Amino acid sequence: MLRRAPAWRYGARRSGVIMDGMGSPRRSAGLVLAAFLLCGLLPAPAAAATAFKVLQMNLCNSGVAGCYQGGRAVGEAVAMIQRRLPDVVSVNEVCLSDLPRLTAAVGASAQYRFAFVRNRSTNSDYQCTDGRGAYGSGIIVKEGVRTGGHGTYSAQDGGNEIRAWACALSAVRGFTACTTHLSTTGTTALAQCRELVPGIVLAHDPTGSPTTRHVVVGDLNLRYSPGSATNAQNCVPSGWFRKGDGDVQHVIARTLTFVSTQEFAMYRTDHPAFVVNHTF
């Protein structure tokens, strides 16, 4: 014999609550209106932090050093960039001819500035082997570059390489990013680092604002060594912070929130890839 379904199956009213066909309550109009009014009193959710990733690599690609592997470090760096998707990339010991390929891997809008190392004996740009162009470091910014510059330090050691820096003001979010590869003489490297941070970096910030984001990335040839006169921390100004790979690669930054560091093995050069993750 067929049983008649209970009245609530057809939307019958019970104590001011309407029951739907699956037995789930639907509040009355008065309760719904009260809920909307209450929601208007609640604060809006906070905006999510924006990730900001910096990638540092020394590619040993001059052709002179023993770690050179016929240019294959560039292809390895391209793959690293495509996997890590950084906002800023610093590359040391590269040739100017390497930069278009590396920059294309960062993104369609990416642009770079190059730090031209000078040759003391010839008073000209230091050259990579096999006609691959000027030797130095590059800073690549994913969102493009509004303005930038490059130069050499007043402090130099007695070697043939006149060490250099390059800085770029980003095209969209207005941060300054710089790259460098400092002297192998510790005291000179520290003097160069102090010359770069903050003076040269701030000179490439046209806003002059203390809240502008800045990152200095590179092979500083300095290590974190508390108590040492050439401790890498000794070139970090007040209000800035430093993160290193445990060796000579570092990121010095301000007005960013540090999240984490990562290291990734590279097999065509003698340095790992070093990533520092931030938010702002």
- If one counts the domains in the chain, the total is 2
- In this structure, the answer to whether residues 155 and 217 fall within a common structural domain is yes
Helix residue spans in the chain (DSSP H): 29-39, 72-84, 99-106, 186-194, 201-203
Residue 209: pLDDT band (50, 70, 90) is confident
User: Torsion over CA of 236, 242, 244 and 250, rounded to 10 degrees?
Assistant: -60
Strands (E), the chain: 13-14, 17-19, 25-26, 51-58, 88-95, 111-116, 118-119, 124-125, 135-141, 145-152, 161-162, 164-170, 176-181, 214-219, 241-244, 249-254, 257-264, 273-279
116 located within any domain: yes
Is pLDDT above 90 for 16?
A: no
- In this structure, the answer to whether residues 31 and 63 fall within a common structural domain is no
Residue 36: pLDDT band (50, 70, 90) is very low
110-137 average pLDDT score: 98
Residue range of the domain that includes 24: 7-39
- In this structure, the answer to whether residues 150 and 265 fall within a common structural domain is yes
- In this structure, the answer to whether residues 22 and 131 fall within a common structural domain is no
245 located within any domain: yes
User: Residue 11: its pLDDT value, please?
Assistant: 38
252 located within any domain: yes
Is pLDDT above 50 for 233?
A: yes
CATH classification at residue 136: 3.60.10.10
- In this structure, the answer to whether residues 25 and 55 fall within a common structural domain is no
Residue 1: pLDDT band (50, 70, 90) is very low
- The structure's pTM equals 0.84
Structure tokens at 6: 């209970």
What gap in Å lies between CA 257 and CA 268, rounded to an integer? 32
- In this structure, the answer to whether residues 22 and 143 fall within a common structural domain is no
Structure tokens at 7: 């009245």
Residues shown for the chain? 280
Weakest mean pLDDT among 133-147, 194-208, 263-277: 194-208
56-78 average pLDDT score: 97
What gap in Å lies between CA 86 and CA 240, rounded to an integer? 21
202 located within any domain: yes
DSSP structural state of residue 260: E
236 located within any domain: yes
> How many Å separate Cα 21 from the centre of its chain?
55
Is pLDDT above 90 for 52?
A: yes
User: Residue 126: its pLDDT value, please?
Assistant: 98
Q: CB 234: neighbour CB atoms within 10 A?
A: 15
- In this structure, the answer to whether residues 267 and 133 fall within a common structural domain is yes
- In this structure, the answer to whether residues 116 and 220 fall within a common structural domain is yes
> What are the backbone dihedrals phi and psi of residue 9, each rounded to the nearest 5 degrees, phi first?
-65, -20
- 55, 274 contact by CB (below 8 A): yes
Residue 205: pLDDT band (50, 70, 90) is confident
Is pLDDT above 70 for 18?
A: no
Residue 43, sorted as left (phi over 0), alpha (psi -120 to 50) or beta, turns out to be: beta
Contacts of 273 by beta carbon, 8 Å cutoff, 6+ apart: 55, 56, 57, 77, 80, 84, 263, 264, 265, 266
